[in-house]
Amino acid sequence: MRKFFEFGKISEIDVSAQRTWSGDRLFLTFDIDWANDEVIADTHRLLSESHVSATFFATHESPGIKALCEDENLEVGLHPNFNNILDGSTLNGNSDKIISDLKLIIPDAKSVRSHSTTFSSVLCSSFAKQGLTHDVNYFIPDFSEVDLKPWLNWLGITMVPYFWEDDVACIDPNVSEVSSLVRRQGIRVFDFHPIHVFLNTESLDRYERTRPLHQNPEELIKHRFEGYGTRSKLMELLEMVSPL
């Protein structure tokens, strides 16, 4: 018999209440990574058509992200980028300001995943100071065969590990099919990027060679992969949701 799942929001995870993160519950997350509003709206439409919950991690301010914030099925968290201060390309920034500037754009944010999953104990203290309660920076791939569960860290932040990421699935042959991953034990958090959903990315070469078109959705859509790619995997997950 076919098993149906339901999708939750990351901030709904309560470590002590297992029903909030295991059993039939799956989590869809999306790193926005400065995607064009049309690219964001494309993923937003797919989720709305399936009436599912999901968590987005925002990098910037835009009408497309505002629309996500206004959708009660969705959660919008923060996706701060610390790369420019780490590599020295920005000399006048600091991590506290990067987080607080983003929090001003998404004042209700509760969850965070850094761009490039940058994490440290210092950053975690800053997340807590800004009122963030759930961190999704630990990537522990499915093929590690570890049964994952969330935990509370020393600051009381709920740490939520994730086991699947769309771009890793494009480059690592060890990654399992999404249809088998949904039946794994423990917490199951999937990480997509709207740009890979839009392009239906199957190889990162498609993503790299279309870079000049990433802010030009009318042209970019001509480069959408027609076979089985990232968009197909998201659609597969959306088809597993309980019918309303």
User: Which residues here bind Zn ion, judged by CB under 5 A?
Assistant: 31, 33, 115
Report in angstroms how near the CB of residue 48 gets to Zn ion at its nearest: 23
C-beta of 9 vs 115, nearer to Zn ion: 115
Report in angstroms how near the CB of residue 33 gets to Zn ion at its nearest: 4
Asked whether 60 and 101 are in contact (CB, 8 A), the reply is no
C-beta of 25 vs 115, nearer to Zn ion: 115
Report in angstroms how near the CB of residue 79 gets to Zn ion at its nearest: 6
Residues 174, 234: Cα–Cα separation, whole Å: 19
CA 217 from centroid of its chain's CA atoms:
21
C-beta of 83 vs 242, nearer to Zn ion: 83
Report in angstroms how near the CB of residue 32 gets to Zn ion at its nearest: 8
Distances (CA, A) of 152 to 62, 71, 75, 162, 186: 33, 28, 20, 15, 16
C-beta of 115 vs 233, nearer to Zn ion: 115
C-beta of 38 vs 167, nearer to Zn ion: 167
Report in angstroms how near the CB of residue 151 gets to Zn ion at its nearest: 23
